């Protein structure tokens, strides 16, 4: 499926969405399988298959994308500050005091719950990192991809709505804004450049969406500067760790012994043991600033149609026969977001979108490209084939965020 809107909770889809299904969003699909390395032992490739995991959706655990970052000091205001040197929190015997680290970081960690438009009744969960007192939160793009609405759970047990600010799906980074908050505790972003292989790190997040306080796991930095490639998606500058990372941890922090965010938990190798990956925080910091300053490949204020589509060419012969699809090009509508512009216009699953405002739509991505050029409130004329017959509808675009 291809969500036209922007990325987990309790129901996992039986199968991952395809790359084409995410094309309009420009996001990496939430459950890609990573390709095996061309040369065994290549330091810049992960060995085996991997999966991105936005959280728990149904009964299937897929590939997990997770991470941590910290730039704002704990208890600080909205301004940016450089990471400060902090002493490690240790026990009397010199080991990392995991309880102390958790106590320092968990007020800055939120659970993220979404209602997905990918299929009726599906939901998911992930994790986010508070960056500012007024509720700017860092997470993974795949966590909020395909969202219908976002709810966050705060440290004190309160729940609050949130909206998308912007994201860089190809980097799997997104910012959301919690509504109606002004006195939250920002995380402290550290520096991933200072990390050493063998250094102890801690992953914190909403593992398996079990509720209550964030879960915590401890491990070491197993390797640095890793790269992973899925179909059409490449993530670089990754920290490899053996700290256990699970569905629902996506978007959560990987922290050092001083409680500073050094990575954003993002991926696991599905067929291996204790191999997880986090996006280095030093890579994330510039993306945070770009989104805050109005950038991002996907913006919450963009026009929104509300269809999930795939390329007609990628549909199975059985599915094409079911809906009397005889063309080889176009965007096949898998589902329609309830109460969206597409729903109000009368678009239906099984429709094949062949043009928007007179412009040919040869595939799923072309629908998104046209919609992104328009503004919320614009009217569009959409030509579709329904059961082989031409149908024309008019839709008034909504807003993505």
The span from the CA of 366 to the CA of 355, in Å, is 9
CA angle 102, 106, 111 (to 5 degrees): 135
The partner residues of 12 in beta bridges, in order of sequence, read 58
User: In sequence order, which ranges of 63-185 are alpha helices (DSSP H)?
Assistant: 98-105, 141-144
Q: Please identify which of the residues 108, 111, 222, 250 carries the catalytic annotation.
A: 250
At 70, is the secondary structure helix, strand, or coil?
A: coil
134 is catalytic: no
Give the chain's length: 401
**78: closest CA among 139, 128, 134?**
134
- 55: alpha, beta or left, given left = phi > 0 and alpha = psi -120 to 50? left
Catalytic residue among 8, 142, 311, 363: 142
Distance CA 50, CA 35 (A): 8
- Give the E-state strand segments of 248-388 in sequence order: 253-255, 261-269, 276-280, 298-299, 303-304, 307-311, 331-336, 352-356, 359-360, 379-386
> What is the dihedral angle through the alpha carbons of 137, 164, 363, 352, rounded to the nearest 10 degrees?
140
**Which of 348, 334, 338 lies closest to 24 in space, CA to CA?**
334
Please, what's the b/e burial string for 378-397 (b: 16 or more CB within 10 A of its CB; e: otherwise)? eebebbbbbeeeeeebebeb
55: DSSP letter: S
Q: Which of 172, 297, 351, 363 is catalytic?
A: 172
172 part of the active site: yes
Given phi > 0 = left and psi -120 to 50 = alpha, else beta, which region is 364?
Answer: alpha
286-254-185 Cα angle (round to 5): 75
E-strand ranges in 215-357 read 215-230, 233-241, 253-255, 261-269, 276-280, 298-299, 303-304, 307-311, 331-336, 352-356
Distance (Å, whole) CA 116 – CA 22: 13
| Residue 39 bears catalytic tag | no
Q: How distant is the alpha carbon of residue 114 from its chain centre? A: 11
Q: Per DSSP, what are the bridge partners of residue 386?
A: 389
* Residues annotated catalytic, as ranges: 142, 172, 250
């Amino acid at each position: 499926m291809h969500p036209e809107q922007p990325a987990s909770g309790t129901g996992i889809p039986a199968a991952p969405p395809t790359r084409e299904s995410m094309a309009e969003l420009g996001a990496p699909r939430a459950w890609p399988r990573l390709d095996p390395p061309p040369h065994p032992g290549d330091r810049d490739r992960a060995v085996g298959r991997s999966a991105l995991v936005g959280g728990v959706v149904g009964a299937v655990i897929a590939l997990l994308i997770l991470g941590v970052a910290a730039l704002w000091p704990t208890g600080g205001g909205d301004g940016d500050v450089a990471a400060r040197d902090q002493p490690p929190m240790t026990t009397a015997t010199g080991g990392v005091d995991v309880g102390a680290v958790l106590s320092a970081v968990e007020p800055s960690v939120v659970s993220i719950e979404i209602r997905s438009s990918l299929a009726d009744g599906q939901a998911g969960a992930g994790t986010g990192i508070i960056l500012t007192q007024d509720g700017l939160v860092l997470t993974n793009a795949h966590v909020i991809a395909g969202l219908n609405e976002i709810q966050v759970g705060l440290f004190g047990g309160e729940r609050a709505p949130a909206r998308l600010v912007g994201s860089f799906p190809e980097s799997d980074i997104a910012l959301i804004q919690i509504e109606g908050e002004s006195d939250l505790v920002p995380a402290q972003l550290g520096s991933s450049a200072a990390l050493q292989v063998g250094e102890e790190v801690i992953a914190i997040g909403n593992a398996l969406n079990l509720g209550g306080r964030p879960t915590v796991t401890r491990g070491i930095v197993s390797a640095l500067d890793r790269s992973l490639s899925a179909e059409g998606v490449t993530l670089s500058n990754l920290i490899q760790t053996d700290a256990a990372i699970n569905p629902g941890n996506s978007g959560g922090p990987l922290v050092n012994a001083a409680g500073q965010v050094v990575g954003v938990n993002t991926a696991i190798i599905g067929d291996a043991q204790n191999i997880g990956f986090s996006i280095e925080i030093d890579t994330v910091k510039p993306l945070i600033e770009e989104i805050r300053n109005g950038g991002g490949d996907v913006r919450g204020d963009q026009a929104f149609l509300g269809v999930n589509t795939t390329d007609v060419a990628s549909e199975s012969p059985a599915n094409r026969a079911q809906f009397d699809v005889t063309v080889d090009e176009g965007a096949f509508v898998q589902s329609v977001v309830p109460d969206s512009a597409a729903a109000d216009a009368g678009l239906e699953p099984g429709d094949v979108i062949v043009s928007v405002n007179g412009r040919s739509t040869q595939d799923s991505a072309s629908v998104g490209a046209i919609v992104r050029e328009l503004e919320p409130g614009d009217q569009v004329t959409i030509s579709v084939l329904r059961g082989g017959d031409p149908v024309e509808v008019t839709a008034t675009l909504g807003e993505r965020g």
